[in-house]
Structure 1
Amino acid sequence: MIPMSLKKIANITNGLLYGENKIINNISINSKEITTNTLFIALKGKKFDAHIFIKEAVKKKCSAILTNKKIIYCISYIIVQDSTIALAKIATYLRNKINPKILAITGSCGKTSVKEMTASILKKRHNIIYTIHNENNHIGVPITLLKLKETDKYGVIELGTNHPGEIRYTSKITQPNIVLINNIYYSHLEGFKSLLGISKEKSEILSYLKNNGIVVINLDSHHLSQWTKKIKNKKILYFSIEKKKKVIFLLLILKLMQIKHVLLCIHHLEQ
């Protein structure tokens, strides 16, 4: 990430800074991964509370803490109402400040493979960030964006979900220039009840697409009619196997190894 002062972070997160204003070069939510000039963010969820690891983070010599409550340690800290939302606000700030062109990918299956293939091509020519493994939820997406540096030109971000509203939340943070909905299939039905529910949730990736953004859609997906209003006035690229439409998205990565001028989608990104 780019260096930021605690005062700036407090301003971004609507938090209160206690102690010395320091420069932060790294943000971590894991007390075991503290390095020089690190801000440790103590997240609190339904089943965990990282505030119990503040003592360990201080012992590891973190520079400051972002927390939901006052702490007793002799260290600079920022108090916010919700540390998870604060994490998202910092990520959103960095996304807008550095302003890379971002491709956001979702779908019921195959999105991780598509993300990996796309990133492997882009990083041959450019500095990029991309989702590591499957860190594609409301925590993993902002953590990925925190890695942005001034030299990064592109981001390839995977957006996953297991409950309604999650993709809308991560899409708001990501603000993509291009979105791909890889497919709609039977997965996470316990959270969405039906294919229609899954389709509606996946379409939330379109909610914060940039005004001049591009939508890439699998014509073989279920319930495409649900997306009509959201893709109105957007540039749309289609691909299909069953309907035999011209495959536009990544041309299956030009057989993956035959990479000459890096693809149609990258051409659109650079326009």
Structure 2
Amino acid sequence: MIPMSLKKIASITNGELYGKNITIHHISINSKKIVPNTLFIALKGDKFDGNVFIEEAIKKGCCAVITNQKIISFISYIIVENTTIALGQIANSLRNTIQPKILAITGSCGKTSVKEMTASILQKKNNIIYTMNNENNHIGVPITLLKLKEIDKYGLIELGANNPGDIRYISNISEPNVALINNIYHSHLAGFKSLLGISKEKSEIFSYLKKNSIVIINLDSHHLSQWKKKIKNKKIFYFSIEKKKQAIFLLLILRFIHIKHVLSCIHQLEK
């Protein structure tokens, strides 16, 4: 990530800074992974509380802390209302400071494979960051974006969801330039109850698209009609397996037109 002052981070997160306004170069949510000039964010969830690891993070050498409560410490710290939201706010700020092209991928299945294949292609000629393993949730996506450096041209972000609202939240953080819904099939029904519920959730990837964005859609997906309003006036590319006959027919037409154009050019040159 690019260096940030604690004063700026406090402004981004609507937090209150206690102590000196120093510059940090790294952010970690793991007290065991602390290097010099690291800001430790004490995340708090239903089954864990990062505040209990603040002392360990300080002993490891962190230079500042983000927490949701006052602490007794000789190092600087920022108090915010919600540390998880603060993590996302910092990541979004960095994303908009560096301005890489963000490619976001979601779907019921296969999204990790598509992400890995796309990453292998892009990184051959560009500096990129991308979500590692299955870090595709409200914590993993911000952590991925925090890896952005000024030289990075692309960010490849996988978006996963177990409950309604998940995709919308991480789409707001990543603000995609290109959004792909790989497919809509029976998966995670426990959280969404039906295919319609899954389709509505996945379509939230379109909620925070950047200007002049591109949408890529699988025509074989269920409930495509639910997406019409959200993708209106967007540049859209389609792909399909079930409708491959139509796709092949279109490809043959385009190829025929291309061949005719080439032959015409050759004919003009021979004159």
Normalising to structure 2: TM-score of the pair? 0.90
Alignment-derived partner of residue 194 in structure 1: 194
User: Which amino acid in the other structure matches residue 37 of structure 1?
Assistant: N
> Aligned partners of 1:205 and 1:38: how far apart in 2?
31
Alignment-derived partner of residue 6 in structure 2: 6
Find the residue that maps to 1:36 and give its secondary structure: coil
> Aligned partners of 2:214 and 2:8: how far apart in 1?
33
User: Which amino acid in the other structure matches residue 218 of structure 1?
Assistant: N
> Aligned partners of 2:210 and 2:61: how far apart in 1?
40
CA-CA distance at 1:75 after TM superposition:
1.1
Find the residue that maps to 2:113 and give its secondary structure: helix
Alignment-derived partner of residue 241 in structure 2: 241
Alignment-derived partner of residue 93 in structure 1: 93
User: Which amino acid in the other structure matches residue 175 of structure 2?
Assistant: Q
Residues 139-174 of structure 1 deviation map (CA, whole Å, 9 limit, x = unaligned): 111111001100000010000000000100000111
Q: Which structure's CA Rg is the greater one?
A: 2
Normalising to structure 1: TM-score of the pair? 0.90
CA-CA distance at 1:8 after TM superposition:
1.0
> Aligned partners of 1:84 and 1:137: how far apart in 2?
12
Instruction: Give the gaps of 5 or more residues in structure 2.
Output: 249-271
CA-CA distance at 1:82 after TM superposition:
0.7
Number of residue pairs matched? 247
Q: Is the 8 A contact 1:179 1:215 kept in 2?
A: yes
CA-CA distance at 1:47 after TM superposition:
1.2
CA-CA distance at 1:211 after TM superposition:
2.3
User: Which amino acid in the other structure matches residue 212 of structure 1?
Assistant: N
| Aligned Cα root-mean-square deviation (Å) | 0.9
1:88-127 aligned at under 5 Å gives the runs 88-127=88-127
Q: Is the 8 A contact 1:238 1:246 kept in 2?
A: no
The reply on whether 1:176 has 2:176 as its aligned counterpart is yes
The reply on whether 1:26 has 2:10 as its aligned counterpart is no
Find the residue that maps to 2:88 and give its secondary structure: helix
Alignment-derived partner of residue 60 in structure 2: 60
Alignment-derived partner of residue 132 in structure 1: 132
User: Which amino acid in the other structure matches residue 93 of structure 1?
Assistant: S
Alignment-derived partner of residue 17 in structure 1: 17
Query: Which portions of structure 1, spanning 4 or more consecutive aligned residues, are displaced by more than 4 angstroms?
Result: none
Identity of aligned residues (%): 76
